[in-house]
Chains A and B, each alone.
Chain A
Amino acid sequence: MTRKTADILSGLGFLILAAAFWAAGCDLTGISRIFPTMLEIFMALGGVALVLNGLRKGLTEMACEGTPTWRRIWLITASSILYVACMPLIGFYVSSALFLFIMAMVLGTRRDLAHAGLAAAFSVGLCVLVYVVFRMLLLVPTPAGALF
């Protein structure tokens, strides 16, 4: 990504965030409003400055470690969202075991039976470990659902 694009995108992002907070807090009054308003104004002005800065800049590349593998990024993001959304429905342990097993299979390089066995052992093992440490030893509740 070029610095020009990065500055413009980040500037627009700050402008949108400032506007969103402004809209969400427009009914606030008195002391509750002072601090957030100061920040919203600062973010809006800063956002404008970043956009203008970006428009003036040349197309110099930003330093980065290489092109990320977007397929894996979208995959883990989407599956994490699905995992968290399913958790209150089917429970932490079942959703975690499924998430861990499926992701270990999908993200892994091999698809054979041995790998499936390893993925299953890994997912069940981690869930058992979490159950023992959180539920049994520390008595910390985990999200409950219809299954477990």
Chain B
Amino acid sequence: MLDYVLSALGHLIEPLNILLMLGGLTGGILLGALPGLTATMGVALMVPVTFAMDPISGLVMLGAIYAGAIYGGSNAACLIRTPGTPSSVATTFDGFPMCQAGKADEALYTALLASAFGGVVGTIFLLFMSAPLATFALKFGGPEIFWLCIFGLSTIAVMSRDNMLKGLLSGAFGLLVSTIGIDPNSGVPRFTCGFYPLAQGVEIIPAMIGLFSFSQVLVLLGSDRQFIAEYSPSKGAFGRVARKLLADCKVNLLRSSVLGTLIGMLPGAGGEIASIIAYNETKRWDDNPARFGTGVVEGVAASESANNGVIGGSLIPMLTLGIPGSAVAAVILGALLAHGIQPGFKIFTETGELAYTFILSQMVVNILMIPVGYLLAKVMAKILNIRLTLVAVAIVTLSVIGSYAIRNSMLDVWVVIVFGLIAFFGGLVGLDTGAMALGIILGPMVEENLGKCVHLAKAEGSLWNVFFTSPISLLLILFTLLSIATPFLLELRGKKKARRTAACMESRS
């Protein structure tokens, strides 16, 4: 291993590879910041370019685009409440309120440092724990993934503590929306009302753009503001954020990054699920969960470290088993195969130089992300100095083209408008947009795996054996129950604390 690591380090200090990493990162960040242009699209577009390159350089560049795009999504999420990529949905929860409070630079730097940290943690797991983790990931079948999704959905209980019923109903509506189109289990079209394009279903990204971006345009234009937020860059913001993360967010960053890496390993479960789960876990264990959603550094840090942790996680089964953990990993797998490299455990021995260069390049990319992202964040924050009316109409146009770009369908453009209106008017009556988004994201996975479980149960003759006997399933059920019970337990704890404080005050007086 050491020989490969040393030769990998040699490759990484080659000027061409450094240039490719910097270029890939910059391109990836800009791509990720544009709504509708995803990491998958960016990496897929650049795969043909790598054919003219040495495989090592090509892979290094693709890895840099991947990391850059996932981080880049946070810029739009913080500045205009538009998740640049689906992975940054949870970043909007606190990133945008921070921006509105005049702390745009702090929000952007938090996202940057947390992303770099999450990426490094994911790479460490990829470097040292590939084999055992890949074996663990293989134990996740239909029932385990079903329970993981249910665990993800249970976070609605934490998300909507103020009005859990509305949160749960919003989540159920999201799940119901996700059933539109071809049924993943039987292939029957559902809820299409005879309209053929609806057979493809409601695409996640346009729905997210509508829920978070178009609805925000309506909110912003409905206010009397002249600008999205007051923004004057404060001196020493970067250092302040770094110190805050070091002092108060160590556990949060580590937990979220590890969660991201572990979730990233599971095929189908990507950054959007990881960041929402990590955000909610951070909120759940905080002393004052009510402050989340009002613009706290911890919320942005949790979401961003988790979605960048996913990168390392998704590459683990891709490199060791040839099973991609995400859509981008699948494209990178295609690039590997096109270069004649066969993934599998032998990749670390037969093409060890390439494998270790790729893995270590991820480490370097995440470190380089800090200066590159810092410079780009300064430029992007300037958007806040443009008049609100111009920014708002530009968001509408970018939302339109971003949603159309996903699969060249006008249906997706209409989805943006419809979901924007649902989120805006729903928000007026207290519906939870986040829960709705979670339902739309997790819906297809829940149903597909529920179908698998039902088929398995038919074959085995026992529903109980399928759902409730695997140790991983039992653990996930336990986590789900804890997750649902936590808001009630925290409320009880709060009441007890209040009673104790009142008793103390009484005895003193």
Contacts and interface: CB of A to CB of B under 8 A. Distances in A.
Q: Which of A13, A80, A84 has most B Cβ within 10 Å?
A: A80
A110 to B, nearest CB: 11
Interface stretch (B279-287, B321-329, B334-342, B404-412): B404-412
B203 interface: no
B221 A72 contact: yes
Which 8 pairs of residues, A with B, have the shortest CB-CB distance?
A68-B222, A107-B389, A10-B429, A6-B429, A46-B169, A103-B393, A32-B183, A39-B176
A117 B414 CA distance: 31
B390 interface: yes
A73 interface: yes
B401 interface: yes
A42 interface: yes
B172 A46 contact: yes
B14 to A, nearest CB: 26
Given A1-B428, A73-B222, A32 B188 contact: yes
B392 interface: yes
Contacts, number: 163
A87 interface: yes
A53 to B, nearest CB: 8
Interface in B397-422: 397-398, 400-401, 404-405, 408, 410, 413-414, 417, 421
Contact of B401 (A31, A39, A66, A130): A130
Interface string B155-190: 000000000011011001101100100010110101
Interface residues of B, number: 58
Interface of A: 1, 3, 5-7, 9-10, 13-14, 17, 21, 24-25, 28, 30-32, 34-36, 39-40, 42-43, 46-47, 49-50, 53, 62, 64-66, 68-70, 72-73, 76-77, 80-81, 83-84, 87-88, 92, 96, 99-100, 103-104, 107-108, 122, 126, 130, 133-134, 138-143
B379 interface: no
A123 B191 CA distance: 38
B45 interface: yes
A33 B224 CA distance: 47
B394 interface: yes
Which of B168, B169, B214, B398 has its CB near the most chain A CB atoms (within 10 A)? B169
Interface of B: 34, 37, 41, 45, 165-166, 168-169, 172-173, 175-176, 179, 183, 185-186, 188, 190-191, 193, 214, 217-219, 221-224, 387, 389-390, 392-394, 396-398, 400-401, 404-405, 408, 410, 413-414, 417, 421, 424, 426, 428-431, 446-447, 450-451, 454
Given A47-B169, A104-B393, A108-B389, 4 more contacts: A28-B190, A34-B454, A65-B223, A69-B223
